[in-house]
Structure 1
Amino acid sequence: MVTIRKIEQQDLPALSQLYDELIGMPANVDQMERMFRFIAENEQYYLLGAFHEGKLAGSVMGIECMDLVGECRPFMVIENVIVSQHVRKQGVGQKLMAEIERIAKERNCGYMILVSGDQRKEAHRFYEKLGFGDEKVQGYRKHFD
């Protein structure tokens, strides 16, 4: 059984392990705790966890962004999508993404947007099955060290 709920302070150690799986390096736990407090206090951030048999098995973060174009509807940016390799292909990711989409629609978002590294082909197939990809766009990132 999979339960989706907001990530809480006590979930941060398990979330840190998931993020290590995502990016291949451990999180700065002190900084993570500071940023978590900011996120928890900001209603435009949605940090969700998927709990499989009581353990954190996946996570997604959505950020509601305001827009000044057209109907001026907000949009949802999706980031840090991860499902532990131990429970992939069991519907965990689908449940996470369905819940963040439900929130986006509830907030009257016009669309959701995400980027995924070019090398993550399995993730791309997953996103396409969820309806992403109808509109092919080029994504760019500029990283700061």
Structure 2
Amino acid sequence: MIREATANDSGVLANFYKLLAPASKNINVLPERIEQIKKDENNFLFVYEQDGEILGTIFLTLCLDPAYEFRPYGVVEYVFVTEEARGRGIGKALLNYVDEVCVSRHCTRICLMSSVQRTDAHRFFENGGYNGTISKAFKKYIRVRPVTW
């Protein structure tokens, strides 16, 4: 079953994200942030749960687009399925779910970000209809400074 993540999922998601970005020392998934995302009409943090266990996740942000009337576009990140659960259609179900959300919100496109080293994931994304040769993504990481909330 695919559902929106809740604050109770923060520990599992933190573990997933640490596997996605093992060199990052700044990963800290706050339960309050998950609740904030859940309340935001343009951000979606989904998990795939089976028999009480979370086996995968995906994050979708809908962005305002100045070029196509009032149609947004989607940006997908943090696509992860546990190693034991890969090959069972969970990743495909998560991508299809995001597709449905984007179609229902009249998006013009979906952009997907993936680490350059995840070549198996790239093949999976291409099989799901994503084209990795149309655009080139650039990221600039900003040094994380302590914040007092």
> How high is the TM-score relative to the length of structure 1?
0.89
Higher relative contact order, structure no. (Cα contacts within 8 Å, ≥ 6 residues apart): 1
| 2:76 aligned with 1:98 | no
Q: 1:16: which partner in 2?
A: 14
Equivalent AA in structure 1 for residue 128 of structure 2: L
Q: 1:86: which partner in 2?
A: 84
Q: 2:69: which partner in 1?
A: 71
Q: Answer yes or no: is the 8 Å Cα contact 2:8–2:31 preserved in 1.
A: no
Q: 2:41: which partner in 1?
A: 43
Q: Which runs of 5+ in 1 are unaligned?
A: none
| Alpha-carbon displacement from aligned partner over 1:82-128 (angstroms, at most 9, x marks no partner) | 11111111111000111011001001111100121211100000000
| Alpha-carbon displacement from aligned partner over 1:57-96 (angstroms, at most 9, x marks no partner) | 1000100111110334100110111111111111110001
Residues paired across the two proteins, number: 141
Three-state SS of the structure 2 residue aligned to 1:127 is: helix
Q: Answer yes or no: is the 8 Å Cα contact 2:6–2:31 preserved in 1.
A: no
In angstroms, what is the RMSD of aligned CA positions? 1.6
1:135 Cα deviation from its structure 2 partner: 5.0
1:18 Cα deviation from its structure 2 partner: 1.5
Q: Which runs of 5+ in 2 are unaligned?
A: 144-149
Q: 1:55: which partner in 2?
A: 53
Q: Answer yes or no: is the 8 Å Cα contact 1:57–1:87 preserved in 2.
A: yes
User: Which stretches of structure 1, 4 residues or longer, exceed 3 Å deviation after superposition?
Assistant: none
> How high is the TM-score relative to the length of structure 2?
0.87
| Alpha-carbon displacement from aligned partner over 1:2-23 (angstroms, at most 9, x marks no partner) | x111111112222222122211
